[in-house]
Amino acid sequence: MSYFRSNIIAMAGYSPGEQPARGKFIKLNTNENPYPCSAKVGTAIGRATKAGLQRYPDPSARAFRVQVCELLKKHVVGISPDWILCGNGSDDLLTIITRALVEPGTYLRHTNPSYILYDTLAEIQGCRCQVIDYQPDWSLDESFHAPDAALRLAILANPNSPSGTQIDPRRVLQIATALPCPLLVDEAYADFADSHCLGLVAENEKILVTRSLSKSYALAGLRFGYLVAQPQMIEQFSKVKDSYNCDALAIAGATAAIDDQAWLGRTRAAVLATRQRLTDALERLGFQCTPSQANFVWCRHPAKSAKELYQQLKQDGVLVRYLHYPHWQPGLRISVGTNEQIDALLTLFKRYELG
Amino acid sequence: MSYFRSNIIAMAGYSPGEQPARGKFIKLNTNENPYPCSAKVGTAIGRATKAGLQRYPDPSARAFRVQVCELLKKHVVGISPDWILCGNGSDDLLTIITRALVEPGTYLRHTNPSYILYDTLAEIQGCRCQVIDYQPDWSLDESFHAPDAALRLAILANPNSPSGTQIDPRRVLQIATALPCPLLVDEAYADFADSHCLGLVAENEKILVTRSLSKSYALAGLRFGYLVAQPQMIEQFSKVKDSYNCDALAIAGATAAIDDQAWLGRTRAAVLATRQRLTDALERLGFQCTPSQANFVWCRHPAKSAKELYQQLKQDGVLVRYLHYPHWQPGLRISVGTNEQIDALLTLFKRYELG
């Protein structure tokens, strides 16, 4: 007999992208920002360290919530700090939301392909997943918002990974209105996109939007994300979070990061320019690329297996993500690095026989 | 109809101790260490910040696990890094353990009085609690290890809060052997005690020991704790944790903290000396104090209500914890501060009419 819940024993657990402990790799596999974060972050962390770490942090991260409301008030009508819940990375928020909403006998609905973690979180809760395939043009048909008495949560990564595609906010509102349950819009990559769904939160309490500081603010190492939702929703989710889920340094660093919108603007512009260069160059090499609204490009080559390319690149010191989802051809998800990193990748591709 | 699981709607949520945003208080209410952490922690955090935060942290916090094994190998036969799971504070580990073990239809057993969070975690999982009262001498009778087919987890805070008392490790081993399920020994305060249960982990896979860096290492603001258990147990718990639950700064700071055992020795000695002074002085003022193995003292005064004393102290700028548990008389839990802070508290007590 095992001591563990049967669904824990049965599950494999989520495997994050490779983080090589040894060797010098160009890392284009986990969608990190290639640039260092705003200098204001380091200053804030230094100040918080100096102030002392012996006290518990503010359980509600109020400093951050006040600051982010200033930023969001032009998008979200009526927003105030009680519309925000902070998390130890947006993974923490995904965990909180699934724990609050789904359980055995209920369904969590998400898309294929998308973020594998949604399946893992459902497995931990002992609930089943309804997985809806994207259409070939990366749209979603009505099956994503079809009624189901046992459905408790739908999750839409928007922009999606690995495709980098985005569902238009007007369509997201239609989906949320039709759904019988909350719709979590995971906007981890939205700072790299042309639009976002923040404005919808005020229109429908079922719409929950999560944001991450990992990618656009170059703070994957700091672990900070936030949920935007109506206060009556935040109130329930707050019951599920660990009291002190965000540490004092993360709160200080994240607050400083969002205060430096000039840094975000510059970095975003650099990433988007390199994304375009990468896409153009890949297409000239014969790759089929999906137009991206994120900080990565999803591609495959008609003449060479994605798995072999991944392995060849790894041998040559470049890590990209090889991903294979049911009903979809395998492909490579290449994070947008610096221009120099992308040049190194393209040089390797040119050396391989791709044709 | 609500979108939330019925047990989430029904529960109140855990309220941590007061963290006043305004005003100057002497904080003796949340068992924080009154001294700043080792200077090595700040250096390590500075170095990690400078190295950049744009990359994800090591999901397994290997640097910390290697370092802590060096420290623990004299206590735990055969320990290696796969005996350790790191958490975003030990609350994160308590969450992981309850998610892996308990569910509706099962029981979690713990003691009264103890850490209220155990009830909250059971409520979130939708399982019931069996709450076993301590005996008047703070021992546990056989009902704590009585067989029950639906029992999946027993939790023993050792030293316990609010009592500061400790069950002897030999007795803990008896309890674990008799229990049909894992026994989590929450050793958040063990660095202030005369003994601990780390050595038992090698003797019985059911024994899980959690440690926190919040109190003894003065790092409540950093959020770092660890679980010591046999590798086959760690493997299952690992499936439940968020991939990147510990951030890069916390891993660096925690690793530096446990590397400075000289700091720990000095700080522990200071806290224990002040604990003795506090206890002696309280007893001279007529308080009944429970002998403490932790960094706080649990006391009540026969002539004055604990609630009134708490309120009077708060008005006078000193926060202590007023706690009232079923079947027990209410009391005050007073954290061991600096000598100056304790002097300020004692001066107030002398001014109040306690006779």
Enumerate residues 6+ apart whose C-beta is below 8 A from A192.
Answer: A159, A215, A216, A268, A271, A272, A275, A292, A293, A294, A295
For residue B63, what are the contacts with CB-CB under 8 A and spacing of at least 6? B251, B252, B255
Contacts of B259 (CB under 8 A, 6+ apart): B40, B67
Interface A-B: count of C-beta contacts within 8 A? 223
- Cα distance between residue B96 and residue B278, in whole Å: 36
What kind and span of H or E run contains B264? helix B261-284
Q: ipTM score of the complex?
A: 0.97
Note the pLDDT of residue A19: 75
Q: How high is the pLDDT of residue B355?
A: 66
- Tens digit of pLDDT for each residue in A33-53? 999 999 999 999 999 999 999
Taking an 8 Å cut-off on Cβ atoms, the answer to whether A36 and B54 are in contact is yes
Candidates A16, A52, A233; nearest CB to B59: A16
Q: Integer distance in angstroms from the first to the last C-alpha of chain B?
A: 56
A32 conformational bin, left if phi > 0, alpha if psi -120 to 50, beta if neither:
beta
Q: What is the pLDDT of residue B24?
A: 85
For residue A20, pLDDT beyond 80: no
- Residue pair A228/A179 in contact (Cβ under 8 Å)? The answer is no
d(CA B47, CA A286) in angstroms, rounded, equals 43
Instruction: Give the C-alpha separation, A243 to A223, whole Å.
Output: 16
pLDDT digits (tens, 9 = 90+) for B211-227: 999 999 999 999 999 99
Q: Would you say residue A340 has pLDDT above 90?
A: yes
Kindly give the parts of chain B with pLDDT less than 50.
none
Q: In A, which residues are within 8 Å of B9 by CB distance?
A: 236
Residue A229 pLDDT exceeds 70: yes
Q: Is B182 on the interface with A (CB under 8 A)?
A: yes
Q: Do B206 and A3 touch (CB under 8 A)?
A: yes
Chain A residues close to B239, C-beta within 8 Å: 8, 11-14, 124
pTM for this one?
0.97
Predicted pLDDT at A16: 81
Q: Is the Cβ of A49 closer than 8 Å to some Cβ of chain B?
A: yes
Q: What is the pLDDT of residue B14?
A: 83
Separation of alpha carbons B240 and B230, rounded Å: 16
When CB atoms are compared, the residue of B54, B57, B62 closest to A35 is: B54
d(CA B122, CA B150): 14
B151 SS3 class: strand
CA distance A199 to A191: 14
User: Is B208's Cβ below 8 Å from some Cβ in A?
Assistant: no
- The answer on pLDDT for A138 being more than 80 is yes
Say what the pLDDT of residue B21 is. 67
Q: Flag whether pLDDT at A243 surpasses 90.
A: yes
**Any chain A CB within 8 A of the CB of B41?**
yes
Contact list in B for residue A223 (CB cut-off 8 A) is 57, 88, 244-247
Does the pLDDT of residue A180 top 90, yes or no? yes
